[in-house]
Structure 1
Amino acid sequence: MSKIRVAVLTVSDTASKDASADRSGPAIKDIVLQNGCECAESQIVPDDEAQIRAAVREWAARRVADWIITTGGTGFGVRDRTPEAVRPLLEREAPGIVHLLLSSSLQKTPFAALARPVAGTVQDSLVVTLPGSVKAVKENLEALLQSGVVSHAIDLIRGGSGKDVHATLAASTLQAAESSPAPTHSHEHHHHHHHGHPSGHRVPVPRTALSHDPSAPVSARHRVSPYPLISLESALECIFRQVQPLDPREAPVTSALRGCVLAEDIHAPQDVPSTLTTNVDGYAVRSSDPPGTYKVLTPRTHALATPLPAGHVFRINTGAPLPAGTDAVLMVEDTRLADADADGEEREIEALAQVAQGENARRPGSDVRKGDLALEKGTVVHAHGGEIGTMAFVGRQKVLVHPMPVVAILSTGNELLDIQTPQEMDGDGWGGIWDTNRPSLQAALEGMGYKVLDLGIVPDDLDKHIAVLRRGLEEADLVLTTGGTSMGASDLLKPVIERHLQGTIHFGRVKIKPGKPTTFATAPVPGKRPVPIFALPGNPASALVTFHVFALPALRRLGGWPVARSQLPRVRLQGTMPLDPRVEFHRVTVVADSEGLKAYSTGGQRSSRVASLAGANALVILPATTDDGPRELRSGEMVEAILIGELQVQH
């Protein structure tokens, strides 16, 4: 692996005024150089959130460093704001690195419990925040460098496989096994390498063609799923590792931007207002003009660039620029009509008051100065109009954004009927079932602003599956299917993805309720990056729940949302809820009142019972049972929730 490029940011009010006071920054440079790294850049900033964030963002955007290290501002001091500055930038957080830093420091001093480090990736850079003391910096870097954690992480961020680290580990394990004495008891010894992933869970490694061969007879199908049953945390981690934002494009500043994410900082190209303007309806005057009678000029009779002649006022409306030679505005309420022509047009007015210089006027740049940051990169352009209004306000006509992804949806199964175009089914009188999933998913997607490509209902036919999925991969940014993910002989999605589309199944089962057979894959497409595929269960409630849990975060990531934006609110249960051996997403109605957010169950939670979603606006996340844990959550307990609709307000 090529040399690791390091950028060092010292955060200190004192050192920003006197660089000689910086002790930890030079110590970091010495240590990384001794460990074969290259120090690409360094900078000192005060304990100011905006300046810290700007420095890290700028380095990551310019890709000057593989590893950005900050030092200082991670404690509980009044001015310690480094974690708050860096955390919003993180696209993929690294809690395992944070745990390593804290555990290594706690071995030295209990006061390490007061440290607040954060770590993760910003674009293609690993960012780690260290304390400000030289002693703590040395201890933390020793833990990161000698263990090989940083080099392994950067290899993976660069797109490597980490095979060198695996080879070293394998060799050391073999050497240890060969040199160790034979076991004296019959129990096997197992070594598990978790690569530093948090919570001890193991992220699944994609394997090819685990699915059954659809050309083989039914008797040859799998009786046990070949796909490992993984945790919710592993599944989400896998999705965020595989799904990256769509390439930015330039777009005009119109209402069509709603839902897009800014791919650049928006700076004001000019002062706003650009000249002295009025903030009331009235008359532009010289502040030296006393009360009296004045002739009235208007934009029709006087050019703004021409100085206002003596004995005149200039009629002006709110927001308009003042003409040359004037420095204040007299309100309409402080005047009286003195003379008008036959058409009612004002000729003269009487000024009843004298105004001070600058009164009722806005100075150039008083709202925004040229070069000011108006909106940050990563800002979501919401439908309420504030972001679009801000861009228009500062005079931006075009802007660089991550576009909202196009979603292809389809349902699978011979038994399905389209509610709008039902066709009589062959058979013994059984009429089939209505396709619930496509209409509900299309409503959810279009309500969020996504463009939907409806590929219809696909029968249980291999060739038709291949043709429809290929169209979806070519024309959309994400493919969403329902049905065909379980163990039936006619369940074709996994075989088609693996055997005919050269795709990779990243996971095929998740330990959640509902939604166990949820499948996530990617498939290569000529001329574009691999396209994500979410094959959701066919049961209506399961399909909608897993859409919100898995597909929606992937869509947001494709659209440029930072991973760190996936935050879950907490709600208070209004009734006892039993727990299951699997993590359960229980459909609820969340109501906001003076006491906070309250969650009411919508009743029976069968995966086929779509009625339980009719009144639901959230999914509460119920933890899995443990051997020594509770079997239910009681009314009044707080749990995390995924909001899937508007909050209800209770008065």
Structure 2
Amino acid sequence: MVKIRVAVLTVSDTASSDASADKSGPTIKEIVQQNDHECVESRIVPDEEEQIRAAVKGWAEQGVADWIITTGGTGFGVRDRTPEALTPLFEREAPGIVHLLLASSLQKTPFAALSRPVAGTVKNSLVVTLPGSAKAVKENLEALFQAGVINHAIDLIRGGSGQGVHAQLASSTPQSSIQGSQGLQHSHSHHHNPHHHHHGDSHSVPTPRTTLSHDPSAPVSARHRVSPYPAITLEAALESILREVQPLDPREIPVSSDLRGTVLAEDIFAPQNVPPTTTTNVDGYAVRSSDPPGIYKVLTPRTHDLATPVPAGHIFRVNTGAPIPAGTDAVLMVEDTRLHSTDADGEEREVEALAQVDAGESVRKPGSDVKKGELALEKGTVVHAHGGEIGTMAFVGRQKVTVHPKPVVAILSTGNELLDIQTPQKMDVDGWGGIWDTNRPSLQAALEGMGYKVVDLGIVPDSLDKHIEALKRGLDQADIVLTTGGTSMGASDLLKPVIERHLSGTIHFGRVKIKPGKPTTFATIPTAKGSVPMFALPGNPASALVTFHVFVLPALRKLGGWPTARSQLPRVRVQLQSNMPLDPRVEFHRVSIQASAEGLKAYSTGGQRSSRVASLAGANGVVILPSKVEGGPSEMKAGEFVAAIVIGELQVQR
């Protein structure tokens, strides 16, 4: 049996403040190792549902552990919320494991009846909750290991048939234990596919899916009052995006300006020497280095063959980059000559050489720039718009190259209240005229300015069918879908339910601890062409543009094959030029970054309300303000240095 990778989560207000108070976590690690398995992760969190859920969900999504064990928070105490935190994550519950835990504990003490364990699968991880007592932990783990339940369960979740476990149990455990284990198998099969084990086929692992969104067909009164999606940190959100998004398949494209923004999917080697023959790097005359100053007759490509040595008393006129003829070994610059005579047509007949040059002067040898077979550009190189990479490809003679293409982006806005600025439809409901759709034009401008092709899906009303129809069109026509609005807690906010319930998508995060942009949602949708990333950004204009630069751009770059380390926009150190208040969340304050002799300075663009898109007019960066902590400062002071994300061209201070 392959070693089981175990992650241990201790849930305790006390231990989260003082790790030495955690007795059950180390006990679990010790028992896991005694059973020849591996503890790969461990963490302590307080009795807070969001933190418990986020820790387990993160481990499961990252695939770091086969078995996630929590300890603590399963009783009837006011702060005991572990079952409530984890049950919404379960794709398949495991009541048999719960029954085994309770049955083994009740043999020890009747107080086990007050324990509320839960168990189930989250993606490809088995999650089991244990009590917070070290003694109870030992008893529960003894039951799980002795019965062979854990080995069998993990084998099945990994996609195995369970035959190896059966053979091991049959040879090393009492018959009653084997029957108990087989009973678990049959119960498990009944819920998934009862024929897999009977016919000896491999066990199918279902597509991971966690549905936390509300049912849009239910009445408004049934909607969530508190978001079921844990608010995760900025860093965790970025890690999730860069982990889930994979580069588009490479394709061969002609070398032209259309390559701007693509990433090389192959190493580029020079197919020939550059230059291919001996050439000149100046305008002048090919000469023998032994020729002294004096008057010489002029030859040209029209009057003399390159392969024939230049006769004595003659020189050969050349232009930059042209080959030099046989019999010459240097080039005399035009500036070092004087016209002596011309023919009837005004053509040079004789010139006076004013200087003598050394052998090799102003001459480029074959392969002196690039030798045949030499690496000119590495795989993973970004083809920038400034032309250097495209010029290099043409320089070495490549007509076509294989690259990761730039993704096509589908965009749409949601909401009955929105009006298209170009084709407004009159909306007069009790004097309400609607609001202009700001997000689509601003995002389209940003995307096309970066060279991305945009599919405009328009404004989608608050209709379930219209949402499904528009998103399916986007998924069919584009490599990534970008929406704004419909991500919050309103009864008509439909994007999360549509993603999970109608498109079979997986929401990797539905809230982020940032300002603006808390309801930012990132998901992946399975399609015939593969998994398509989708971002549902907030409807407020400033929120949409800020989260586009912070989250969507890294995904676009990763799709386009950019190295992970370069997928995010650059961050620079800037000096604040005004005080900036802190928020409990990390805040992105829109600024104008100006370069001065003293360094980069950041000037606030004014009011930072998430609906005030004007705060981004003139902004070329966002300052990353840290979250306010208890006992810490309430603001960042003018003159302090902070990190900022560059979203536009830097300005020079006037």
Whether TM-score is above 0.5 comes out as: yes
In structure 1, the partner of 2:231 is 229
CA distance in 1, matches of 2:564, 2:351: 62
In structure 2, the partner of 1:392 is 394
Pairing partner for 1:610 from 607, 613, 625? 613
Question: 1:344-363, aligned counterparts within 5 Å?
Answer: 344-363=346-365
Give the paired residue count: 490
1:569 aligns with 2:572: yes
Runs of 4+ in 1 over 6 A off after TM superposition: 167-171, 177-184
CA distance in 1, matches of 2:338, 2:593: 58
CA distance in 2, matches of 1:178, 1:615: 65
Pairing partner for 1:259 from 221, 236, 261? 261
Listed one character per residue, the Cα deviations across residues 599-632 of structure 1 (whole Å, up to 9, x for unaligned) are: 1111211111111111211111111122232222
Task: Compute the displacement of 1:308 (Å).
Answer: 2.2
Identify if the C-alpha distance between structure 1 residues 164 and 518 changes in structure 2 by more than 3 Å, giving closer, same or farther: closer
Pairing partner for 2:132 from 189, 200, 203? 189
CA distance in 1, matches of 2:308, 2:487: 76
Task: Compute the displacement of 1:233 (Å).
Answer: 1.5
In structure 1, the partner of 2:596 is 593
Higher mean alpha-carbon deviation, 352-361 vs 637-646, is at 352-361
Question: 1:173-572, aligned counterparts within 5 Å?
Answer: 189=132, 207-526=209-528, 528-565=529-566, 566=568, 567-572=570-575
Q: Which one-letter code corresponds to 2:340 in the other structure?
A: A
Q: Which one-letter code corresponds to 1:607 in the other structure?
A: S
CA distance in 1, matches of 2:108, 2:283: 94
Q: Which one-letter code corresponds to 2:292 in the other structure?
A: P
Task: Compute the displacement of 1:544 (Å).
Answer: 0.6
Task: Compute the displacement of 1:174 (Å).
Answer: 7.7
Q: Which one-letter code corresponds to 1:546 in the other structure?
A: T
CA distance in 1, matches of 2:236, 2:403: 30
Q: Percent identity?
A: 76
Identify if the C-alpha distance between structure 1 residues 383 and 337 changes in structure 2 by more than 3 Å, giving closer, same or farther: same
Secondary structure of the 1:439 match is: helix
Listed one character per residue, the Cα deviations across residues 176-224 of structure 1 (whole Å, up to 9, x for unaligned) are: x97999999x9973999xxxxxxxxxxxx97533212222222222222
Asked whether the equivalents of residues 209 and 505 of structure 2 are also in contact (C-alpha less than 8 Å), the reply is no
Listed one character per residue, the Cα deviations across residues 327-350 of structure 1 (whole Å, up to 9, x for unaligned) are: 111222222333322211122223
Pairing partner for 2:638 from 626, 635, 651? 635
Task: Compute the displacement of 1:266 (Å).
Answer: 2.4
Listed one character per residue, the Cα deviations across residues 316-372 of structure 1 (whole Å, up to 9, x for unaligned) are: 011111112211112222223333222111222233332221112122222222333
Higher mean alpha-carbon deviation, 408-417 vs 312-321, is at 312-321
In structure 2, the partner of 1:623 is 626
Asked whether the equivalents of residues 412 and 481 of structure 1 are also in contact (C-alpha less than 8 Å), the reply is yes
Identify if the C-alpha distance between structure 1 residues 530 and 278 changes in structure 2 by more than 3 Å, giving closer, same or farther: same
Asked whether the equivalents of residues 40 and 64 of structure 2 are also in contact (C-alpha less than 8 Å), the reply is no
Asked whether the equivalents of residues 419 and 434 of structure 1 are also in contact (C-alpha less than 8 Å), the reply is yes
Task: Compute the displacement of 1:557 (Å).
Answer: 0.8
Q: TM-score, normalised by structure 2?
A: 0.69
Secondary structure of the 1:532 match is: strand
CA distance in 1, matches of 2:596, 2:208: 46
Task: Compute the displacement of 1:506 (Å).
Answer: 1.1
Task: Compute the displacement of 1:310 (Å).
Answer: 3.1
CA distance in 2, matches of 1:481, 1:559: 20
Asked whether the equivalents of residues 275 and 363 of structure 1 are also in contact (C-alpha less than 8 Å), the reply is yes
CA distance in 2, matches of 1:640, 1:168: 37
Listed one character per residue, the Cα deviations across residues 443-464 of structure 1 (whole Å, up to 9, x for unaligned) are: 1111111111111111111111
CA distance in 2, matches of 1:458, 1:249: 33
Query: What are structure 1's unaligned runs of at least 5 residues?
Result: 4-141, 151-155, 193-204
Task: Compute the displacement of 1:558 (Å).
Answer: 0.7
CA distance in 2, matches of 1:174, 1:580: 44
Secondary structure of the 2:571 match is: coil
Q: TM-score, normalised by structure 1?
A: 0.70
CA distance in 2, matches of 1:473, 1:462: 16
Task: Compute the displacement of 1:276 (Å).
Answer: 1.4
CA distance in 2, matches of 1:591, 1:180: 72
Larger Rg: 2
Identify if the C-alpha distance between structure 1 residues 366 and 146 changes in structure 2 by more than 3 Å, giving closer, same or farther: farther
CA distance in 2, matches of 1:357, 1:592: 48
CA distance in 2, matches of 1:288, 1:149: 76
Q: Which one-letter code corresponds to 1:562 in the other structure?
A: P
Q: Which one-letter code corresponds to 1:530 in the other structure?
A: S
CA distance in 1, matches of 2:559, 2:362: 47
CA distance in 1, matches of 2:343, 2:106: 110
Secondary structure of the 1:569 match is: strand
Question: 1:69-88, aligned counterparts within 5 Å?
Answer: none
Identify if the C-alpha distance between structure 1 residues 622 and 388 changes in structure 2 by more than 3 Å, giving closer, same or farther: same
Asked whether the equivalents of residues 579 and 625 of structure 1 are also in contact (C-alpha less than 8 Å), the reply is yes
Identify if the C-alpha distance between structure 1 residues 632 and 178 changes in structure 2 by more than 3 Å, giving closer, same or farther: farther
Asked whether the equivalents of residues 206 and 507 of structure 1 are also in contact (C-alpha less than 8 Å), the reply is no
CA distance in 1, matches of 2:642, 2:108: 50
CA distance in 1, matches of 2:133, 2:590: 40
Task: Compute the displacement of 1:478 (Å).
Answer: 0.7
Task: Compute the displacement of 1:424 (Å).
Answer: 0.9
Task: Compute the displacement of 1:2 (Å).
Answer: 8.7
CA distance in 1, matches of 2:239, 2:63: 17
CA distance in 1, matches of 2:105, 2:367: 75
Asked whether the equivalents of residues 40 and 65 of structure 2 are also in contact (C-alpha less than 8 Å), the reply is no
1:580 aligns with 2:523: no
Identify if the C-alpha distance between structure 1 residues 599 and 459 changes in structure 2 by more than 3 Å, giving closer, same or farther: same
Identify if the C-alpha distance between structure 1 residues 307 and 174 changes in structure 2 by more than 3 Å, giving closer, same or farther: farther
Task: Compute the displacement of 1:147 (Å).
Answer: 5.0
Identify if the C-alpha distance between structure 1 residues 574 and 207 changes in structure 2 by more than 3 Å, giving closer, same or farther: farther
Identify if the C-alpha distance between structure 1 residues 304 and 167 changes in structure 2 by more than 3 Å, giving closer, same or farther: farther
Identify if the C-alpha distance between structure 1 residues 174 and 217 changes in structure 2 by more than 3 Å, giving closer, same or farther: closer
Task: Compute the displacement of 1:499 (Å).
Answer: 1.2
Task: Compute the displacement of 1:149 (Å).
Answer: 4.5
Q: Which one-letter code corresponds to 1:529 in the other structure?
A: G
Q: Which one-letter code corresponds to 2:483 in the other structure?
A: T
Q: Which one-letter code corresponds to 1:569 in the other structure?
A: V
Taking only aligned residues, the RMSD between alpha carbons, in angstroms, comes to 3.4
